[in-house]
Chains A and B, each alone.
Chain A
Amino acid sequence: MALTPKDLLAFYRTMVTIRTFETKAAELFAAGKLPGFVHLYIGEEAAATGVCANLTDADYITSTHRGHGHLIAKGGRVDLMMAELYGKATGYCKGKGGSMHIADVDLGILGANGIVGAGQPIAVGAAFACKYRGNGTVAVCFFGDGAANRGTFHEALNLASIWKLPVVFICENNMYGISNCQRDHMNIVDIADRAAAYGIPGATVDGNDVVAVYEAAAEAVRRARGGDGPSLIECKTWRWRGHFEGDPGAYKNPDEQKAWLAKDPIPRLAQKLIDLGHATAADLAAIDDEVKAQVAAAVDFAEQSPDPDPADVLTDVYAS
């Protein structure tokens, strides 16, 4: 379980890639270049990164409307993602899905999802497929505090528990379901407490500490691969932006926002890497620059890509 400098630098790169992609998406949305709804993951990078570092391409994830970070952490390509945000023919979904529906089934990404809580039973089904095949693969379900109130949560955790499925439920508790603060939408504070109701282990971790998330997910994934059944991990984190771009988030307490910005997972890891002598500030700046160039190239790719052919509105409804 000891993390190597290489692992840690990979964490750093992934988190910076998510941050850079999302920051660019915010900018492009504000400039009117991205249609539709865009929900950004800024501030929550450690959760997706720490969890997905335990997975292979053969493992599955289900994601959410706030899914860009999960996709990047699971190995999704930023150029295809950006083109999809633009609605271009070269995008992950040929412009048919957009930000909320990006998927890459070959990478085990069973889709972002526009319905809060919908991924929970889907992940259970993917985990059933893993167990049915008996090949040691697992499914991870990302969802938020809001989705922990859906009926899907109850049904999914119950079924996963009785069938002892290899699924890890990752609750990214970013403290808000749209505008509704967790204090007002549930009468408990630690969502991991709910695990006990399903007879599965639950733990709460600092979701802004990528190493803490990694360690917890490593254990939950090990249990899942070993046939020990599901786990629930709650990552306490904070949504920096509004629910969607264009939502100023006026319902958030500015003091809380300030306190959480100070817990930014990226500088926390950067400082650690420098302290441990795994990287210099210059090394990290070089990674930042590489990522910036990669995201800039993704924007160029998207902008230069063709729009879909209008005739394609009719294709891909059914598999033939």
Chain B
Amino acid sequence: MKKMTYAEAIRDGLRVEMQRDPSVYLCGEDVGKFGGCFGVTAGLVDEFPGRVLDTPITETAIIGSAVGAAAAGLRPVAEIMFVDFTGVCMDELFNQASKMRYMFGGKAKVPMVLRTICGGGLGAAAQHSQCMEAWFAHIPGIKTVLPATPADAKGLMAAAIRDDNPVVYIEHKQLLGLSGDVPAGEYLVPLGQADIKRAGGDVTIVTWSWMVHRALAAAEALAREGIAAEIIDLRSVVPLDKETILKSVAKTNKLVIVHEAVKTGGFGGEVAAVVAEEGFDLLDTPIKRVTAPDTPVPFSAVLEKAYLPSEGKIIQAVKELF
């Protein structure tokens, strides 16, 4: 175990996998000499000569070339600087990377990672603050993960790189500086495995990414009022760990879903639908969702604060169930 930040943990995951497998390479805008827009890949360009490639501002070619390189046997980790920019390379992701294997009758593998970062709270406004995981979840053939802790960041990165499918790996800007214990050396967190970040018997809160931490803070406050919330960090939205969710709901009979993305078409709707379809009888109360409203992300700190799901909103939603 070693104390490191989320950003360092991602880098450590990349480093370990690059040492382990020479077919892994990184590419993207400013990932090399500049060390990444948020410093996540700092120094790797010197540690791995020829394997950390600065690209032009060319999202389509970054992801398109990663698809080709992966189909030809390499393991690219291609960075799109902000998840908001994935619209530029969407065809490469949703028509190419995700469908090649199926369209070709199972005869192709596309082992690539699309690394990107999401989330608000920095005053980065509507085109640099979004959470788009529901888009990716809607595309069969790719997997999507969103680590919330340094250890998960490292373990999910390693697992994403080793997976033989395209994996969208979404970091969060608010978490980069978060410090925590991270296992040294090779460390894997299996894709599709949720993690119970806090156990509790009164209400299940399903969440992911930055909101895990707001949910944990809310749980702490609720505990003082005698409500024991169980916090499930999905870590992967695809594959979805239904079992962990249903098991928890079987115990608590109450479900609150918290995500930073906008409500309509958000992945919370999918979680709610799964529980309604497969665990309707487990529920004692309606399902609650705590999300951003259906608006673009505003710029002003005051507006953005109003926009983001908060500890208070989570507490309020939970209390409405009791």
Contacts and interface: CB of A to CB of B under 8 A. Distances in A.
Contacts of A110: 68, 71-72, 108
Given A91-B105, A94-B106, A111-B100, A122 B65 contact: yes
B179 interface: no
Given A93-B105, A121-B61, A317 B140 contact: yes
Contact of A103 (B64, B66, B104): B104
A142 interface: no
Q: How large is the interface on B (under 10, 10 to 19, 20 to 34, 35 or more residues)?
A: 35 or more
Given A125-B72, A129-B74, A317-B141, A159 B58 contact: yes
A56 to B, nearest CB: 14
Contacts of B91: 115, 118
Interface in A66-121: 91-97, 101, 103-106, 110-111, 113-115, 118, 120-121
Nearest to A84: B105
Contact of A151 (B60, B68, B103): B60
A139 B105 CA distance: 22
A319 B165 contact: yes
A111 B106 contact: no
A163 B27 CA distance: 12
A105 B111 CA distance: 14
Contacts of A118: 64, 91-92, 95-96
B101 to A, nearest CB: 6
A159 B55 contact: yes
A174 interface: no
A129 B70 CA distance: 8
B241 interface: no
Interface string A117-149: 010111111111110100000010000000000
A160 to B, nearest CB: 9
A105 B61 contact: no
Q: How large is the interface on A (under 10, 10 to 19, 20 to 34, 35 or more residues)?
A: 35 or more
Contacts of A158: 56, 58, 61
A35 B92 CA distance: 26
B135 interface: no
Interface string B76-95: 10000000000000011001
Contacts of A130: 72
9 contacts: A93-B107, A97-B103, A122-B68, A125-B76, A127-B68, A155-B61, A156-B64, A319-B106, A319-B111
Interface of B: 25, 50, 53, 55-56, 58, 60-61, 63-74, 76, 91-92, 95-96, 100-109, 111, 140-141, 143, 164-165
